[in-house]
Chain A
């Protein structure tokens, strides 16, 4: 069973700054089945990235992601006010696991 550990737990930044979030897996993920979600209070998770680095439909290009094996990251360039939220990483597919989340706050 894979365990995903996100860091930091909270990231305090200002609009216009860059945010880098990390996710470390306890062992190598299956294929490239790795995703990131954004979640705002009272809303369902919104898929941002899939297959490690592909943006989901409608996601602006200030969001990017990379990684392989056990180490992954999500970068948000030039934070907009609507980007302040909680972000989750995920291994998906036939074996599913989620990270505990990183809160990006103003």
Chain B
């Protein structure tokens, strides 16, 4: 069974940083594209970032380019999202996704002063 468990969310001030983690199990993580997807309060789902199997390809939605970095540790079946220069509009539940398919419960990031 595919399991994706996100962690690392919390309350942070505008301009601050946060690092999200996703622990993956139940599938071949090493050979899977992985993604982060977010959902702002009361809004729809939005793709944030992708990373390919060997980290040679990383892709971002325009609104987070230069501020967020997606990474992975294949030895530990883990996915990460380093978020910096956070803005109020980054407030959302962040979900880890295997090949784009959302499967976890998410972790809430709140950016507020």
Contact = CB atoms under 8 A, between A and B. Distances in A.
Interface in A18-76: 33, 35, 37, 44-45, 47, 50, 57
B45 interface: yes
Interface centre among A35, A37, A91, A98 (most CB of B within 10 A): A98
Contacts of B1: 57
A37 B95 CA distance: 14
Interface residues of A, number: 20
Contact of B101 (A35, A97, A101): A35
B78 interface: no
A50 B97 CA distance: 14
A55 B111 CA distance: 36
B100 A47 contact: no
A12 interface: no
